[in-house]
């Protein structure tokens, strides 16, 4: 490709990718698949590698991370990062408004009401329109420089629009957060991989910003709302204008703010959002009220800790007190032990609560829980309510502190705690009933071997009846054995056998996921399978070799080698092999079906009825066609599925590329 064509291509890809990024962080959803996005990004990366002069500071390739930071340097804030005063009732808020008014005698005061986003504060330093530094709050005076991590957040502009018209240096303050859905999906993935669950989106965002590997940060899909500008000779006089300025310059500003001129209007804003926040995709813990005029802000000034011209109003988290009846312990499939607080039933936010999660032994110690304590239970961003405190006044003097257990509640084995981990584990992996049952349930789930008609009760009955000791034993079950199970009739027995037989066609990556290796979720299993191709290569791989696979870090590599070094697991794998399960990836060969598409280039977009994307691609190639990742002058056909990206459509239309449906495509190849 000549450099002129490359330059045009780089601009087009950059524009498209930046547009998709923007849609993603403003609507919290995407219009193209991750696969398509990655393919376009790879194409851009390749072009930038070939023509380094085309690499721009705001290229989407600069957001994929890859920098490893061992220790973050500290930076002294030019403008200290203050906290805000809190108010908890309309009376307290009325007092604050009265104080503001008293400080500005005979002046009309306007307020800007904003949501108080529950994330981590960040300071973004721009020089000549370019992001030069991102700093955490730290102690308010100095914070950590985490620029490589901040650059992975797509809502943070790397290069500002109209930089020549902007002040040469200024600082933007905002809140980095993890949208609730991203958090829930991340936790689901962790649960499936047997990793400890994360407590809430805020702590997760905060922990993520401090990670050493920025490519992991990039994968975590953080987002950021900006809400303040600091600098000298700024070209505006009110907070409202500064928000408008931020938006114009390309920052992500939440459109939820509102101007209020009376106390009643502030209260209306609060009442509206106290309810509406439940459907807002980001956790909020209150609202922030700021005096609009900068001149008035200056006149009011600061106390030692916070500005007098702004305050926050905290939403009341729904909270009740109830008695702690007992702590029980659950043992998960990987042996992790989780305490659960059993509570006297109480109604909280419309539902009856009987249990609350306590994450681990540290949490019991932090709360200093005693037997029979009255505890405060709160429903915040989390689905399961949590214990936020103890009513010391209600504690009986003879109440004993809750003692953490030293042995597994299921099998009695002494628990262990790995260095640096908060959770305790039962090491009796292959002999502890809840671990065995959990592993079998994991094996049969939809995302793994997808064996139907095998619920937890059936699995437990099979185990109790001595029919199975692990998931591989399922494949040795006979109809007679199944008929001995409670509630099993001819039909249900046949169904289970049919489900088992059908599962033998499961692709290797899902069999690998089904084995339940700690830290190996569906995505990692997929990467391992594609990298090593078969089970023998994986089971004999050294830690160093494992680290070469994409998405595999030290923890995963250690966990994989530990798994295969155990004799019981090696035996289990050979049982699975003997049962006829796939132990290697099937490479899709291009078997020619014809030459109907020779010389034609296709772009595919969206979701299809009859095809997975890869299959459609294979079909095109099998008929002699080529598949490209983005629409260009060379594209002959855009095969459009459901939910196709709007920019692809627009581009295809503007270039006069033929847009065809899946059916029309099949007609092209005469099928
Ligand atoms: S303005 C001097 N606006 O709340 C004013 N802060 O308790 C600085 N926060 O550290 C803050 N949403 O992390 C402001 N719309 C908003 C906010 C907000 C969340 C956080 C921020 C700050 C803390 C203050």
Higher-scoring residue by pLDDT: 258, 608: 258
One of 2.40.50.140, 3.40.50.2300, 3.40.50.150, 1.10.600.10 is the CATH number of 317-425, namely 2.40.50.140
- Contact 283 CB / ligand 1 (< 6 Å): no
pLDDT-derived band at 205 (thresholds 50, 70, 90) equals very high
- Contact 649 CB / ligand 1 (< 6 Å): no
Contacts of 46 (CB under 8 A, 6+ apart): none
- Contact 121 CB / ligand 1 (< 6 Å): yes
Sign of torsion, CA 296 298 301 306? positive
Ligand 1 centroid distance, CA of 28 (Å):
22
Question: If we measure between CA atoms, which residue out of 63, 44, 36 comes closest to residue 218?
Answer: 63
One of 1.10.150.20, 2.60.130.10, 3.40.190.10, 3.20.20.70 is the CATH number of 433-505, namely 1.10.150.20
DSSP label at residue 132: E
Task: Please choose from 77, 81, 82, 83 the residue to mutate so as to test ligand 1's pocket, defined by most ligand atoms within 8 A of CB.
Answer: 83
| Per-residue pLDDT at 380 exceeds 70 | no
CB 196 within 8 A of CB 422: yes
Task: Determine the Cα–Cα distance for residues 640 and 659; give it in Å rounded to an integer.
Answer: 7
| Per-residue pLDDT at 57 exceeds 80 | yes
Question: For ligand 1, atom 17, which residue shows the shortest CA distance?
Answer: 116
Coil, strand, or helix at residue 195?
Answer: coil
Ligand 1 centroid distance, CA of 83 (Å):
7
Question: If we measure between CA atoms, which residue out of 2, 6, 17, 112 comes closest to residue 648?
Answer: 17
Task: Determine the Cα–Cα distance for residues 34 and 47; give it in Å rounded to an integer.
Answer: 20
Res 382: pLDDT: 54
| C-alpha distances in Å from residue 31, one per residue of 55, 77, 432, 605 | 26, 39, 45, 10
The active-site residue out of 116, 151, 386, 648 is: 116
Coil, strand, or helix at residue 302?
Answer: strand
Res 588: pLDDT: 66
Question: If we measure between CA atoms, which residue out of 49, 54, 57, 61 comes closest to residue 10?
Answer: 54
Question: If we measure between CA atoms, which residue out of 492, 669, 661 comes closest to residue 598?
Answer: 669
Res 194: pLDDT: 82
Higher-scoring residue by pLDDT: 25, 559: 559
Each domain of the chain, given as residue ranges in start order, spans: 3-63, 74-314, 317-425, 433-505, 508-579, 601-668
Sign of torsion, CA 480 483 486 492? positive
- Contact 307 CB / ligand 1 (< 6 Å): yes
pLDDT-derived band at 87 (thresholds 50, 70, 90) equals very high
Phi-psi region of 600 (alpha: psi -120 to 50; beta: other; left: phi over 0): beta
Determine which of 61-70, 85-94, 319-328, 500-509 has the lowest per-residue pLDDT on average.
61-70
One of 3.30.70.20, 3.90.730.10, 1.10.287.610, 1.10.1280.10 is the CATH number of 3-63, namely 1.10.287.610
* CATH topology match: 433-505 vs 508-579: yes
Task: Determine the Cα–Cα distance for residues 650 and 215; give it in Å rounded to an integer.
Answer: 31
Active site residue 116: yes
- Contact 513 CB / ligand 1 (< 6 Å): no
272-284: burial string, b at 16+ Cβ within 10 Å, e else: ebeeebeeeebbb
Ligand 1 centroid distance, CA of 390 (Å):
29
Coil, strand, or helix at residue 371?
Answer: coil
Task: Please choose from 121, 122, 256, 282 the residue to mutate so as to test ligand 1's pocket, defined by most ligand atoms within 8 A of CB.
Answer: 121
| Per-residue pLDDT at 65 exceeds 90 | no
Ligand 1 centroid distance, CA of 206 (Å):
15
Strands (E), 118-222: 120-127, 130-136, 142-144, 169-177
> pLDDT tens digits for 587-618?
766 678 888 898 899 999 888 888 877 788 88
Q: What is the share, in percent, of the chain residues with pLDDT greater than 90?
A: 67
End-to-end CA distance of the chain: 36
> pLDDT tens digits for 614-670?
788 889 988 999 988 788 888 999 999 887 777 778 888 888 889 999 999 999 998
CATH code of the domain made up of 601-668:
3.40.50.10190
The arithmetic mean of pLDDT across residues 334-358, rounded, is: 88
Task: Determine the Cα–Cα distance for residues 321 and 554; give it in Å rounded to an integer.
Answer: 43
Res 199: pLDDT: 78
Res 44: pLDDT: 93
- Contact 665 CB / ligand 1 (< 6 Å): no
> pLDDT tens digits for 463-516?
999 999 999 999 999 999 999 998 889 999 999 999 999 999 999 999 999 999
Res 36: pLDDT: 85
The arithmetic mean of pLDDT across residues 439-461, rounded, is: 93
Ligand 1 centroid distance, CA of 116 (Å):
6
Res 609: pLDDT: 81
| C-alpha distances in Å from residue 540, one per residue of 62, 526, 543 | 36, 18, 10
- Contact 310 CB / ligand 1 (< 6 Å): yes
Question: If we measure between CA atoms, which residue out of 279, 166, 276, 318 comes closest to residue 229?
Answer: 166
Task: Determine the Cα–Cα distance for residues 588 and 591; give it in Å rounded to an integer.
Answer: 9
Res 570: pLDDT: 95
> pLDDT tens digits for 128-156?
999 999 999 998 999 999 999 999 999 99
Ligand 1 centroid distance, CA of 133 (Å):
19
- Contact 291 CB / ligand 1 (< 6 Å): no
Q: Over the chain, what is the mean pLDDT?
A: 91
DSSP letter string, 540-559: T--HHHHHTSTT--HHHHHH
Provide the residue count of the chain: 671
| Per-residue pLDDT at 579 exceeds 70 | yes
For 405, half-sphere exposure in the C-beta direction (CA atoms, 13 angstrom radius) is: 24
Name residue 551's beta-bridge partners. Answer: none
Architecture (CATH level 2) of domain 74-314: 2-Layer Sandwich (3.30)
Coil, strand, or helix at residue 230?
Answer: strand
pLDDT-derived band at 383 (thresholds 50, 70, 90) equals low
Res 572: pLDDT: 96
The arithmetic mean of pLDDT across residues 15-35, rounded, is: 83
Task: Determine the Cα–Cα distance for residues 27 and 46; give it in Å rounded to an integer.
Answer: 29
Res 264: pLDDT: 96
In angstroms and rounded to an integer, the radius of gyration of the C-alpha atoms of the chain is 29
- Contact 246 CB / ligand 1 (< 6 Å): no
Architecture (CATH level 2) of domain 508-579: Orthogonal Bundle (1.10)
CB 146 within 8 A of CB 65: no
Report helix angle 180-193 to 201-209, nearest 10.
80
| Per-residue pLDDT at 50 exceeds 60 | yes
């Amino acid at each position: 490709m000549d450099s002129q064509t490359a330059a045009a291509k780089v601009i087009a890809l950059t524009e498209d990718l930046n547009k998709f990024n923007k849609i993603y962080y403003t609507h919290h959803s995407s219009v193209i698949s991750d696969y398509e996005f990655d393919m376009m990004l790879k194409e851009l990366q390749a072009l930038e590698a070939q023509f380094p002069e085309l690499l721009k500071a705001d290229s989407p390739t600069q957001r994929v991370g890859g920098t490893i930071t061992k220790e973050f340097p500290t930076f002294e804030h030019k403008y200290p990062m203050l906290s805000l005063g809190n108010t908890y009732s309309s009376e307290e808020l009325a007092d604050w408004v009265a104080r503001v008014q008293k400080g500005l005698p005979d002046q009309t005061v306007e307020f800007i009401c904003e949501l108080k986003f529950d994330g981590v504060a960040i300071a973004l330093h721009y020089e000549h329109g370019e992001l030069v530094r991102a700093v955490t709050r730290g102690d308010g005076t100095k914070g950590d420089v985490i620029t490589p991590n901040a650059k992975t957040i797509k809502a943070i502009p790397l290069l500002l629009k109209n930089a020549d018209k902007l002040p040469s240096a200024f600082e933007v303050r905002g809140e980095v957060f993890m949208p609730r859905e991203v958090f829930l999906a991340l936790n689901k993935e962790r649960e499936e991989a047997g990793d400890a669950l994360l407590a809430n989106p805020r702590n997760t965002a905060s922990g993520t910003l401090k990670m050493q590997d920025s490519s992991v940060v990039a994968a975590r899909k953080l987002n950021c709302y900006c809400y303040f500008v600091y600098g000298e000779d700024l070209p505006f006089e009110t907070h409202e204008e500064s928000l408008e300025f931020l938006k114009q310059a390309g920052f992500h500003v939440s459109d939820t703010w509102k101007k209020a001129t009376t106390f009643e209007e502030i209260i209306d804003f609060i009442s509206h959002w106290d309810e509406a926040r439940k459907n807002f995709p980001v956790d909020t813990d209150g609202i922030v009220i700021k005096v609009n005029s900068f001149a008035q802000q200056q006149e009011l000034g600061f106390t030692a800790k916070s500005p007098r011209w702004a305050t926050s109003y905290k939403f009341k988290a729904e909270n009740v007190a109830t008695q702690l009846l007992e702590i029980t312990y659950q043992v998960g499939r990987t042996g992790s032990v989780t305490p659960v607080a059993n509570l006297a039933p109480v109604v909280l936010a419309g539902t009856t609560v009987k249990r609350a999660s306590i994450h681990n032994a540290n949490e019991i110690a932090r709360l200093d829980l005693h037997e029979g304590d009255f505890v405060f239970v709160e429903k915040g961003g989390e689905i399961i309510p949590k214990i936020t405190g103890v009513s010391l006044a209600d504690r009986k003097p003879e109440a004993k502190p809750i003692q953490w257990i030293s042995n597994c509640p299921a099998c009695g084995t002494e628990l262990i705690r790995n260095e640096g981990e908060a959770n305790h584990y039962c090491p009796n992996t292959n002999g502890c009933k809840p671990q065995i049952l959990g592993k079998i349930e994991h094996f049969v789930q939809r995302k793994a071997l997808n064996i139907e008609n095998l619920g937890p009760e059936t699995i437990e009955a099979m185990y109790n009846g001595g029919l199975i000791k692990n998931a591989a034993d399922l494949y040795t079950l006979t109809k007679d054995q199944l008929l001995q199970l409670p509630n099993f009739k001819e039909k249900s027995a046949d169904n289970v056998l049919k489900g088992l037989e059908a599962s033998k066609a499961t692709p290797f990556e899902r069999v690998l996921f089904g084995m339940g290796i700690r830290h190996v979720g569906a995505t990692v299993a997929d990467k391992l399978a594609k990298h090593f191709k078969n089970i023998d290569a994986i089971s004999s791989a050294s830690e160093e070799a494992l680290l070469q696979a994409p998405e595999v870090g030290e923890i995963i590599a250690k966990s994989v080698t530990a798994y295969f070094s155990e004799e019981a697991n090696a035996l289990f794998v050979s049982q699975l092999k003997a049962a006829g399960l796939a132990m290697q990836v099937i490479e899709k060969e291009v078997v020619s079906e014809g030459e109907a598409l020779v010389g034609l280039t296709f772009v595919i977009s969206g979701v299809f009825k009859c095809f997975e994307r890869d299959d459609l691609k294979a079909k095109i190639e099998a008929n002699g066609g080529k598949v490209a990742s983005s629409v260009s002058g060379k594209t002959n056909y855009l095969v459009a599925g459901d939910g196709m990206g709007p920019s692809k459509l627009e581009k295809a239309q503007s270039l006069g590329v033929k847009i065809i449906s899946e059916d029309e495509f099949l007609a092209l190849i005469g099928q």
